[in-house]
Structure 1
């Protein structure tokens, strides 16, 4: 069962979901846009059953009491530091990291810049930043797919557009989400500071450009849907060029929202990946499911 808690880091208070035994290895799940940690509630118990302690924070901008005013507060560096501090507070030491969409963009950054903290890394939908940068420069399909980013960089107008007709545009993106998740998303994005905070991820990290990260050496799983409306094949397949450690690329017949549309495939691949890269063997005297039983 997944429960919701909160913790304070300085002036900010983060909400997070947790599932599993704190004595087990930590797995941190990072949500994307426009979602919250509730996107992981069905997957977390499945992973906890394998012998992992799972946490999923509502990141900066999404947690009600963690919405600092101003674009400069939403750089990847600051959000990455939030995640590391949350992990340190809840269970110090190394951890496994899983991210989707913006959570994946942040996860790539953490995995590269803080490799000593990471046991394994899993990205859903989002390629390595250098692969994505190459796609934006060289691939016509990706250029077309990413036009929306320029719109999100504008002040005020994106907020008004998103709120129009009670979030009609976003409701199309949430059509596979549960009623509980839908209500959670509406609650969060109806808060003006949260919607602006979420959009500030784009404004803080695309306006001036950002130096892509280097090669990743940690065990990496990358799952991409070949019908993704936001990420094309060029960047997805080029990611291999920037991984120097163990690497698994799984292409599935799905779109961008892989946890909802390809749950069983994501669960199986993630279960195998995490179980293959434990820091220590499973504790004696405790029985867990194995990936083969899922």
Structure 2
């Protein structure tokens, strides 16, 4: 089963879900927007039963005890540091990393900057930032899919609109999530500071002049993408292999953006195979 634990790092306290034995190899799961660590619960349980220790934090802005004020506090530097600090707290030097949506965007940066610590990397839905950036520049389909980003960069207005009719906009995105997941998401986003914190990911990292490109990744990588994804088109997905050296597997599924909910069996199978292939022999 998955247990909940609060982990305090400096002035911040993160709500975390854990599963498995702490002496096993660590797998860290990073959620996306607009979700929380609860999205990983069933997958964590399955992976921990295969002999791994799983950690999924409610990241900065999603944990009520880790919502600092100010857009600058949500830049990639801080988001990356949070995850490494949590891993260090658990006493682990190396770990496997899994990310979806914003969790994947953050994960690509963690992997590139800390390759000596990452045993394997799995990205769901969102490819390498250079593949995604190229798609936004030249692919009309991706430009249309990403048009919402400019709106999220506006101050306060997105918060007002998203809260309308008790988060009706978000509830449409959560149509594949079960009742427990939806109630947890509502608990998070009904806190004003959490909604603003989550939107600050966009404001801090995707505003004008904010993008800092990373180089190619040579960590063993699994990329899973749904060919009906509402946010990421085929151009970016197929371009991804240009920015990954070494072992790379691309799994395309008949699904949309919310792969853990709609394509659980395929994700579970691919992830288990990937993790077991690159399990440390130490």
In the superposition, the TM-score normalised over structure 1's length comes to: 0.95
The match for 1:225 is: 226
Deviations 1:153-176 (A, max 9, x none): 000000001000000000000011
The match for 1:147 is: 147
How far 1:76 moved relative to its partner? 1.1
Q: Which SS does the other structure have where 1:63 is aligned? A: coil
The match for 2:170 is: 170
The match for 1:245 is: 246
Q: Which SS does the other structure have where 1:8 is aligned? A: strand
**CA contact 2:120–2:219 (8 Å) conserved in 1:** yes
How far 1:141 moved relative to its partner? 0.3
Tell me whether 1:104 sits opposite 2:111 in the alignment.
no
Q: Where in structure 2 are the equivalents of 1:43-62 lying within 5 Å?
A: 43-62=43-62
- Over aligned residue pairs, what C-alpha RMSD do you find? 0.7
In the superposition, the TM-score normalised over structure 2's length comes to: 0.99
Distance 1:280 1:171 in 2: 44
**CA contact 1:215–1:242 (8 Å) conserved in 2:** yes
Distance 1:149 1:125 in 2: 16
Q: Which SS does the other structure have where 2:163 is aligned? A: helix
The match for 2:67 is: 67
**Larger CA deviation: 86-95 vs 23-32:** 86-95
Distance 1:100 1:230 in 2: 12
Distance 2:69 2:176 in 1: 32
Distance 1:233 1:213 in 2: 21
Q: Where in structure 2 are the equivalents of 1:123-142 lying within 5 Å?
A: 123-142=123-142
How far 1:209 moved relative to its partner? 2.7
The match for 1:277 is: 278
**CA contact 2:24–2:51 (8 Å) conserved in 1:** yes
How many residues align? The count is 281
Q: Which SS does the other structure have where 2:99 is aligned? A: strand
Deviations 1:170-221 (A, max 9, x none): 0000011111111100000000000000000000001133121100000000
**CA contact 2:26–2:92 (8 Å) conserved in 1:** no
Deviations 1:30-81 (A, max 9, x none): 0000000000001001100110000000000000110000000000111000
Q: Which SS does the other structure have where 1:116 is aligned? A: coil
Runs of 4+ in 1 over 6 A off after TM superposition: none
Tell me whether 1:193 sits opposite 2:196 in the alignment.
no
Distance 2:49 2:183 in 1: 27
Q: Where in structure 2 are the equivalents of 1:72-87 lying within 5 Å?
A: 72-87=72-87
Q: Which SS does the other structure have where 2:50 is aligned? A: coil
How far 1:91 moved relative to its partner? 3.2
**CA contact 1:26–1:91 (8 Å) conserved in 2:** no
Distance 1:212 1:142 in 2: 18
Distance 2:218 2:92 in 1: 22
The match for 2:28 is: 28
The match for 2:180 is: 180
Structure 1, unpaired ranges of 5+: 282-294
